[in-house]
Amino acid sequence: MSAVEMKSIEEIEKSGQWWWWAEKKRSPRLDYLRKAVWKKGAKGSGYHPGVKVDLERPLLYTQAFKEAEHDPLIIRHAKALAHVWDNITIFIQDHAQIMGYLGSRPHTILWHPEILFLLNEDLYNDRTVIPEPEEESLKIIRELCDYWNPQTAGAKMFALMPPEEMVKLITGAIGWGLPIHRIGYCTKQWDYMFRLGFEGIIAEIDAKIADAEERLYKRVPEPEEYVYYDKLDIWKAMKITLEAAIRWARRYSRLAKIIAENFETDPQRKKELERIAETCWKVPAQPPEHLWESLQFDHFVQILTRYEACDGAWPARPDYWHGPFYDKDVNQEKNLTHEEALDLTGEFLIRCYEVGWFWLMLARDTLQGITGTWVWTLGGVNEDGTDACNDMTDCLLEAARLVRVANPTFAFRYHPQVRMKTLRNVFECIRQGLGYPSMRNDPILIANAMHWHRHPLKEARRWVHQACMSPCPDTKWGAQPFRMANATIIAAKAMEYALFDGFDQVLQMQFGPHTGDASQFQTFEELYQAWYTQIRWLMDLLARSTGAGRYLAGKFQPRPFLSAIYERCVDLGVDSAHPSERGNSWITFFAWMETGDSLAAVKKLVFDEKKYTMAQLIEALKANWEGYEEMRMDFVRAPKWGNDDDYVDQIHVRCHNDVAAHSWEIKDPTGNPWPPLPENIAAYVTNATKVWALPNGRRLGDTLYDGGCSPGAGMDKKGPTAVLRSVSKIDHVGAVRATLLNQRLSPTQLAGEKGFQIWHSYIKAWAELGIDHVQFNMVDNDTLIAAQKEPEKYPELIVRIAGYSAHFIDLNKKTQDTIIARNIQELGS
Amino acid sequence: MSEDWAKMRDQWLKGSIDKGHREMPEKACGKCENFRQHSASAAGDGHCTVIFEAGVNKVVFDNTDAASCDKYKEIDRIRTDTSEFMWDPTFRPQRQIGEK
Ligand code: SF4
């Protein structure tokens, strides 16, 4: 008898080992699919054993790209993509109902050799993912590297950047990511695709082509009409990819039909295969009419865009778009039972979880355990302001508890009218230790989207998470087709540079501007201004390179398929990179909250109490606090964020307001500002070795603060209300694009109905204080420590990192330790 | 100065593109305390913190042969599988590698 069979549901609930509960509760189909999935996220920073890179896609893409050498660039990429979809091996997994895989076999991860030469060489040097026979594969990879390296988007971009900036960026010391649009976060416009289907979009494109040909070939064009030559190429390329996408989906249809007619002996499965064949014939060519069609359409599109390039995030609002189909099929027409819908939804999550690609070490490390920050948006309001929660919201939340995948995770748009049934469902996910949904304050974020990017109210209400945090409307003019991840700064470096005259202590190079010898500073204001100069320099550098990447993307490596699924791009005849949407830029601030705590400690101990001089501080910092332990403890004990102490909190508020003011002074290619967005993913661990010792008492190598506005681990000594009060002092509309608050709660305190009531009161207080985000870990330390010792017994134990969740056993030990070190808050204290 | 940065960039670009599936020499920059890996890549690109060329840090790679370098100082490394980032000395604290 297995451990699961021995334990009753009640016993499992009591022990908090919810993964056993899930295994017992889910259907045999979901259980099979969940267990059959290959993990594609890295463990620590290496791929799991058995995961191999897929060579079919790069070989097919390259072959067609070479053959089309006399075509315009965008047509070449379109033909290359079409060739992949027409020829790559496809398969249907046993029991599966949703088709579409990124690669030719279930254990493979995709490699896009056209993106970045560094990635290519990284792969060539990798010792784990090269498929057998290794020697032969390495030969193929070498040839592909040699062909693509000089013409990768990365090589083209770097050649244009000022050398000094490029070297500084590539060290990874000041930012994260690279200014390349083939590594983007694409918010998709579902109303367009679901309304027309691909055939409808093709009809629109045909009309555009006919109109362009009329202007160019039937009369003498007006001077401003010559641009239609460019547009013609773009529309033709869009059409090539849309037609190929339909053919690819129909290959699944044919395969399902062949299996059903020739091989399947189980009549039930045969019927399923026949339905799969019908579905894949219909979508994405035509608009969906049933839940199984809308989910299939959605998944096909997500896979198709990832065949074209890496979509690092997965913006989605599945309850909003699939909810009407659920309602029709389950509630009204009774085409499906709730259990059948649950099976489909659970598989929909698993199909997302299994997606993976070969990724730079930098990204594998910082996104330990997952492929990308795939945060799906649930709840919120409709365009008219009414509650948007529906039965699909509940179905997704229920399915998540059954399949317990680490990707996608959910974020819930909370607002005062949210229906109680759904809120309880949200709480149940958190209580069962999923670490998600994270809670987002809907009215605040709607106001925020209107403030920074001028989205009209109705459109702002359509926001989804463009990545893990930033809200972006999924409308024609609001949807941002990609957001390059490199506008991310390691903000604590500005503090380091202010203390060392712009010199990078870790890399031993001059990085920032000269702002003076800090050991000679006589006032706090001198230090503050030095810091402000450094942080502006950092923001400018990242905004400049990202802006250039955005502007040049369409010229370097256009994305015909991505462009074809945006109404704006089809209308205007432009590549998705064209900055004609309303805009949604932001600069992610990693390692942000150390700044205010460091400044406050210096103000108190050096300038107010005069216990130490600046010269002494610089000496101690230079030594990485070694030999200065007593002094370091004074700096550790100085006032810290998260305790409702105005002495330090107001310094943080000033820093926030000043960077927000600067973000209006710099514009992106759409003409919008670059608001700050403090958060950390797992970079608070990986950056620990990139940020030198700081005056908050931190040493080189100590982990950084884990959130965007979270207190330092163990620094919040006055309970959860004091944390909320501190955090509420930040203006969550005007000072940040969003910010991230991590909290750990006690599973015992939150058990049962009483637990829900306590949590609900907390959420109401949090919302009324105007804080935009909070996310919870609700797993006790005993469980975490036990999982460190016997990982095989805790396969689906999930924890929230910062902006994403991961299976605990997929994190490296240091990251695991940081989760254990976070204070557990007793609510109501 | 900008020419020096350009030189550094060019050396690094060339080195990154040329670098292949080669063996790690017995004494290599990647095993030296003075090496800093550029974390935007895992192809072993980096620089030396103590040797400068024309005003900027010398570009080296994890598998640059350090047999003739008199500043070579071997780091303490742990035996590990590829789930741990083993070459960059700045990663030692993260990987629980004790300092010397
Ligand atoms: S000191 Fe010598 S061996 Fe060490 S990193 Fe520098 S060049 Fe390489």
Condensed to tens digits (0 to 9), the pLDDT of residues A608-632 reads 999 999 999 999 999 999 999 999 9
Task: Examine the pLDDT at A93 and tell me if it is beyond 60.
Answer: yes
Q: Is the pLDDT of residue A587 over 80?
A: yes
Express each pLDDT in A367-383 by its tens digit: 777 888 899 999 999 99
A229 close to B (CB below 8 A)? no
**The predicted structure's pLDDT at residue B86:** 39
Residue A231 has pLDDT above 80, yes or no: yes
CB A773 within 8 A of CB A741: yes
Q: For residues A479-483, give the mean pLDDT.
A: 86
pLDDT at residue B11 in the model: 78
Domain of residue B51, residue span: 1-100
Q: Tens of pLDDT along A40-80?
A: 888 766 788 899 999 999 999 999 999 999 999 999 999 99
Helix A752-768 vs helix A420-431: crossing angle, to nearest 10: 110
Query: Last residue of a domain, which of A173, A205, A222?
Result: A173
Percent of chain A with pLDDT over 70: 97
**With a CB-CB cutoff of 8 Å, which residues 46-65 of chain B face chain A?**
47, 49-50, 56-57
Confidence of residue B98 (pLDDT cuts 50, 70, 90): very low
First CA to last CA distance, chain B: 36
Structural domains in chain B (count): 1
Backbone phi and psi for residue A414, each to the nearest 5 degrees, phi listed first: -85, 135
Residue-range definition of the domain harbouring residue A67: 52-90+116-173
pLDDT of residue B83: 35
Query: Whole-angstrom Cα distance, residue A155 to residue A137?
Result: 24
pLDDT in tens, A314-355: 999 999 999 999 999 999 999 999 999 999 999 999 999 999
CATH number of the CATH domain containing B86: 2.20.70.100
**CA angle, A252 then A256 then A259, to 5°:** 140
Contacts of A660 (CB under 8 A, 6+ apart): A675, A676, A731, A734, A735, A736
A486 CA → ligand 1 middle, Å: 29
| Cβ pair A477, A582 in contact under 8 A | yes
pLDDT at A394: 98
What was the pLDDT predicted at A439? 96
Inform me whether the pLDDT recorded for B21 exceeds 70.
Answer: no
| Between residues B55 and A378, the one the model is more confident about | A378
Please tell me which of the candidates B5, B16, B40 has its beta carbon nearest to residue A163.
B5
Residue at A370 is within a domain: no
Q: Is the pLDDT of residue A190 over 70?
A: yes
Whether pLDDT at A822 is above 70: no
Residue A113 pLDDT class (50, 70, 90 cuts)? very high
How far are the Cα atoms of A128, A484, A657 from residue A122, in angstroms, in the given order?
Answer: 11, 21, 40
B87 CA to middle of ligand 1, Å? 13
Dist. CA A185–CA A584, nearest whole Å: 11
Q: Report if residue A460 sits inside a domain.
A: no
Question: In this predicted model, what pLDDT tens digit does every residue of A749-807 receive, in sequence order?
Answer: 778 888 899 999 999 999 999 999 999 887 778 888 888 888 877 777 777 776 567 77
Q: What is the pLDDT of residues A491-527, one digit of tens each?
A: 999 999 999 999 999 888 899 999 999 999 999 999 9
Asked if B97 is an interface residue toward chain A (Cβ–Cβ < 8 A), one would say no
The yes-or-no verdict on residue A413 having pLDDT over 80 is: yes
**pLDDT-based confidence at B94, cuts 50/70/90?**
very low
| Nearest one of A147, A99, A145 to A126, comparing CA atoms | A145
Task: Look at residue B96 and tell me whether its pLDDT is greater than 80.
Answer: no
| Residue A20 pLDDT > 50 | yes
How many alpha carbons lie under 13 Å from residue A688 in its C-beta half-sphere? 24
Nearest to A543 by CA among A483, A487, A482: A487
Q: Which pLDDT score is estimated for A829?
A: 47
Decide: residue A516, CB within 10 A, 0-12 exposed, 13-18 middle, 19+ buried.
middle
How does DSSP classify residue A149? G
- Strand-pair partners of A376: A316, A410
B100 touches chain A (CB under 8 A): no
Please give the pLDDT value at position B20. Answer: 61
In a domain, A160, yes or no: yes
d(CA A96, CA A347): 8
pLDDT at A482: 82
Torsion of CA A15, A16, A17, A21, to 10 degrees: 100
> How many beta-carbon pairs under 8 angstroms link A with B?
137
The rounded mean pLDDT for chain A is 92
Helix H or strand E encompassing A311 = strand A310-311
Q: Which of B8, B17, B56, B87 to mutate to test the interface with A (most CBs of A within 10 A)?
A: B17
pLDDT of residue A188: 93
Nearest Cβ partner of A149 from B17, B21, B41?
B17
Q: Which residue has the higher pLDDT, B3 or A477?
A: A477
* Residue A667, SS3 per DSSP: strand
* Residue A464 pLDDT: 97
**Whether residue A640 has pLDDT greater than 90:** yes
The average pLDDT across A237-254 equals 98
Residue bearing the bigger pLDDT, A360 or A570: A570
Which of B11, B34, B73, B87 to mutate to test ligand 1, by most ligand atoms within 8 A of the CB atom?
Answer: B34
How many domains would you assign to chain A? Answer: 2
Please work out whether the CB of residue B28 comes within 6 Å of at least one atom of ligand 1. no
Read off the amino acid at residue A824: I
* Element housing B60 (H / E): strand B56-61
Report d(CA A569, CA A106) in Å as an integer: 33
Residue A215 clears pLDDT 90, i.e. is over it: yes
| pLDDT confidence band for A827 (50 / 70 / 90) | low
| Domain stops at, among A173, A191, A206 | A173
